[in-house]
């Protein structure tokens, strides 16, 4: 048998093209499967609570301003359209927790109407009311 002799001036090279292909495919996979948080779009003056706890993160935030405006996904919505918007946002990124951010001066009736709309979208949704920890 004849052995192939490598000349000293020839160097062995490793082809990294297949490895780069795999890295790019993994990058695309992680970008596509990442869930994005849908913020309410406004800052709310939340009430302080002494017994506040850290809850699991959610992807849907609903903010209620002092004047009764309801904000979802960085836009103002009518109270009657809250359940439809929740269904749309849950289709984009499934979640079972909704975070409700009500201003300190928001009317209790408006908050209750929004909570009714959340439950109208799905009875199994968990409503978490956001507050500031003292």
Does 41 map to a domain?
no
Average pLDDT over residues 75-103: 88
Tell whether 42 is covered by a domain: no
Q: What residues have CB less than 8 Å from 122, skipping those under 6 apart?
A: 86, 87, 90
Instruction: Take residue 65 and report the two structure tokens written for it.
Output: 């301003």
- Domain of 74, in residue numbers: 48-133
> Is 106 a domain residue?
yes
Helix (H, G, I), strand (E, B) or coil at 2: coil
The CATH number of whichever domain residue 73 belongs to comes to 3.30.420.270
pLDDT in tens, 35-76: 666 666 666 666 666 666 666 566 788 999 989 899 988 889
- Residue 119, in any domain of the structure: yes
pTM above 0.85, yes or no: no
Is there a domain that residue 32 lies in?
Answer: no
In a domain, 111, yes or no: yes
How many separate domains does the chain show? 1
Instruction: Examine residue 115 and state whether it is found in any structural domain, yes or no.
Output: yes
Report helix angle 108-121 to 82-92, nearest 10.
50
Sequence-separated (6 or more) residues with CB below 8 Å from residue 30: none
For residue 14, what are its two tokens? 């490793």
The predicted structure's pLDDT at residue 52: 60
């Amino acid at each position: 048998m004849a052995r192939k002799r490598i000349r000293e001036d020839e160097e062995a090279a490793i082809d990294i093209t297949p490895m780069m292909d795999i890295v790019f495919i993994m990058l695309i996979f992680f970008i596509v499967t990442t869930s994005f948080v849908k913020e309410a779009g406004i800052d709310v003056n939340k009430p302080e609570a002494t017994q506040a706890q850290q809850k699991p993160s959610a992807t849907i935030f609903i903010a209620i301003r002092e004047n009764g405006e309801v904000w979802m996904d960085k836009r103002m919505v009518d109270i009657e359209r809250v359940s439809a918007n929740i269904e749309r946002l849950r289709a984009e990124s499934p979640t079972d927790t909704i975070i409700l951010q009500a201003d300190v001066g928001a009317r209790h009736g408006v908050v209750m109407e929004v909570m009714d709309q959340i439950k109208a979208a799905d009875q199994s949704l968990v409503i978490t009311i956001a507050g500031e920890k003292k």
